[in-house]
Chains A and B, each alone.
Chain A
Amino acid sequence: MPESDILVRARGLTKRFGDFTAVDGIDFELRRGEAFGFLGPNGAGKSSTMRMLGCVSPPSGGELSILGLDPVRDGSAIRARLGVVPQEDTLDVELTVQENLLIYGRYFGLPRQLIRERTARLLDFVQLSDRATDQVEPLSGGLKRRLTIARSLINEPDILLLDEPTTGLDPQARHVVWDRLFRLKQQGVTLILTTHYMDEAEQLCDRLVVMDHGTIAAAGSPRQLIDTYSTAEVLELRFDPSTHEQAAEKLAAVPAERMEVLADRILLYIPNGDAALASTHDLGLDPVTSLVRRSTLEDVFLRLTGRRLED
């Protein structure tokens, strides 16, 4: 891969706040045109990593190069070429939708005429054209998010950083945002996103790293991670709470690669779910519900950390 196609390179990247180490020596590379994800639970160090990538938080250690530049020395020049969708909205809610884009474009020193042209195009892209002159305050969370995405594209960034882009949105609004981000990806925009939603990571990311406690637990494409760290299928069983533990003991007899006993469910990792379900019935077990499904990144995370993502 030519050097110029590596947009971000991190080696031993570390962020400390006093005695607390939020990011503990991580390595990764971002290539032009890909969608790269940080998947992990709250507190894994995703947002701290994003803030370092956004050049608003100097690294405490390690090396970081963004667009071939040093984020501490050249932060301003790098930020001129980034788009940022922060976790919490930073819109000026007292201004209108288009005024927010105008102000933001002016931060980048873009001429008014150019901002006007881009505003029309971007509001059309996020389906907010009919709200252009409305005040931002009363807009729903989903619309505000879409406006934030439009705003982040005003400078036609080389890299778009999205920190938990759909956290707090209802399922419908989330799907609209995913659809828009997917289109950006198709247009060749380089994306970095953090998420604790495994379906978001699976849908949007070409490559991702699983983060936990400030370190990278695993890296690869969603498919590779599932193939490496999980089985083809998962059998999910739910028992009456009074027989939950007993059932777990008996299930040890089923030839599964792995069994996870959660508070409310038992997961059996097996190549063939239906066969395993038949053998649970052979054991005389009677689950309240049973489900055979394909492995997901949630299973990868459980395997790597022993915990669930959204706990």
Chain B
Amino acid sequence: MATSAVLAVREFRFWLTDYRRTWRGTIYSSVLNPVLFLGAMGLGLGTLVNKHGTAHLGGVSYLVFLAPGLLAATAMETGIGECTYPILGSVKWNRTYQAAVASPLRPGDVFHGHQLFVTMRLLMNCAIFLAVMAAFGAARSPAVIAALPTAVLTGLAFAAPVEAWAITRNKDSGFAVVYRFVLIPLFLFSGTFFPVTQLPAWIRPVAYLTPLWHGVALCRGISLGTLTAGSAILHVGYLTAFVAAGLLAGQRTYRRRLHA
């Protein structure tokens, strides 16, 4: 009898086969996105920012400040992107999920298999981001590589809960709402582009509650070499809680949808 891990890997391999058709296009955008953002914001806008002094940024140039924040935000975008439309497509448009659960795979295996695939996509995108970041001179030391797992964790903190919810959908209209009212506000206000301390005091606690803020803090702390053990444990713990909650919820929502 195959174990859960074996069955999840079979679903992961399905996504790999599927991805073989589209991987080239995704690599282009994975390279292009950080080039555009680091170029326009990090270098372009950065020259203006740097003229006003960089004390608020911890004494580093705007590019160096921005890059790890964008790394975490990229992970969030990848995590949400991989777990919205592709999920609805699999359960509703192509019905490949229905094909999978007619085999020995159980709904939970299908869910975990896709989360494995998302982990791989996060590793790819974040590794490419780090390479572009290094090319821009925004990586201060090779130790920045330690930000890779934390960026992946940040992505999964969004991917798991979003996928658990996406499988319950019958229409894609909710996804636009997530992009508009979750992804973009978090992208803009969770410390990616400026320190959260610049926000009005009353709204700051909201920023601290978002998983992205914790992801940004981790990646930036590693990149700038300012991360303390205590805050690392706090941030990793917070993000891990989101992943765990998403994985638990997804087991249920996948079963309800695929084993009705």
- Interface on A for B, CB 8 Å cutoff? 17, 51, 54, 56-58, 75-77, 79-80, 82, 84, 86, 88-95, 99, 102-104, 106-109, 155
- On whether A56 and B13 interact (CB within 8 A), knowing A76-B7, A90-B95, A92-B96, the answer reads no
- CB contacts (< 8 Å) of A57 on chain B: these are 259-260
Check if B98 sits within 8 Å of A90, measured CB to CB. Answer: yes
Check if B103 sits within 8 Å of A104, measured CB to CB. Answer: yes
Smallest Cβ-Cβ distance to A102: which chain B residue:
B17
Smallest Cβ-Cβ distance to A91: which chain B residue:
B99
Smallest Cβ-Cβ distance to B101: which chain A residue:
A56
- CB contacts (< 8 Å) of B6 on chain A: these are 109
Does B104 interact with chain A (Cβ within 8 Å)? yes
A106-B17 Cα distance, complex, nearest whole Å: 11
Check if B18 sits within 8 Å of A54, measured CB to CB. Answer: no
- CB contacts (< 8 Å) of B14 on chain A: these are 103, 106-107
Check if B106 sits within 8 Å of A90, measured CB to CB. Answer: no
Check if A103 sits within 8 Å of B17, measured CB to CB. Answer: yes
Question: Taking the nearest CB of chain A, how far is it from the CB of B116, in angstroms?
Answer: 15
Does B49 interact with chain A (Cβ within 8 Å)? no
Within 8 A of A (CB), among B84-129: 94-96, 98-106
Does B51 interact with chain A (Cβ within 8 Å)? no
Known contacts A54-B102, A57-B260, A106-B13; 11 further A-B pairs (Cβ under 8 A): A58-B259, A76-B106, A86-B95, A86-B98, A86-B102, A94-B18, A103-B14, A106-B10, A107-B103, A109-B104, A155-B103
- CB contacts (< 8 Å) of B260 on chain A: these are 17, 51, 57
Check if A95 sits within 8 Å of B18, measured CB to CB. Answer: yes
- Pull 13 A–B residue pairs with CB atoms less than 8 Å apart, ordered by A: A17-B260, A56-B98, A57-B259, A57-B260, A76-B2, A86-B102, A88-B98, A92-B94, A93-B94, A102-B17, A107-B99, A107-B103, A155-B103
Does B1 interact with chain A (Cβ within 8 Å)? yes
Check if B259 sits within 8 Å of A107, measured CB to CB. Answer: no
Smallest Cβ-Cβ distance to B6: which chain A residue:
A109
Smallest Cβ-Cβ distance to B260: which chain A residue:
A57
A79-B101 Cα distance, complex, nearest whole Å: 9
Does B21 interact with chain A (Cβ within 8 Å)? yes
- CB contacts (< 8 Å) of A99 on chain B: these are 17
A94-B17 Cα distance, complex, nearest whole Å: 11
- CB contacts (< 8 Å) of A109 on chain B: these are 2, 6, 10, 104
- On whether A79 and B104 interact (CB within 8 A), knowing A92-B94, A94-B18, A94-B21, the answer reads yes
A94-B100 Cα distance, complex, nearest whole Å: 16
Check if A95 sits within 8 Å of B7, measured CB to CB. Answer: no
Check if B258 sits within 8 Å of A56, measured CB to CB. Answer: yes
- CB contacts (< 8 Å) of A93 on chain B: these are 94
Check if B102 sits within 8 Å of A82, measured CB to CB. Answer: yes
- CB contacts (< 8 Å) of A92 on chain B: these are 18, 94, 96, 99
> CB within 8 A of A77: which of B1, B11, B13, B17?
B1
- CB contacts (< 8 Å) of B2 on chain A: these are 76, 109
Check if B10 sits within 8 Å of A107, measured CB to CB. Answer: yes
- CB contacts (< 8 Å) of A82 on chain B: these are 102
A95-B99 Cα distance, complex, nearest whole Å: 14
A51-B102 Cα distance, complex, nearest whole Å: 9
- CB contacts (< 8 Å) of A155 on chain B: these are 103
> CB within 8 A of A90: which of B10, B21, B96?
B96
Smallest Cβ-Cβ distance to A82: which chain B residue:
B102
- CB contacts (< 8 Å) of A103 on chain B: these are 13-14, 17
Check if A75 sits within 8 Å of B106, measured CB to CB. Answer: yes
- CB contacts (< 8 Å) of B17 on chain A: these are 95, 99, 102-103
Contact pattern, B 26-54, Cβ under 8 Å of A = 1, otherwise 0: 00000000000000000000000000000
Check if B21 sits within 8 Å of A107, measured CB to CB. Answer: no
Smallest Cβ-Cβ distance to B4: which chain A residue:
A76
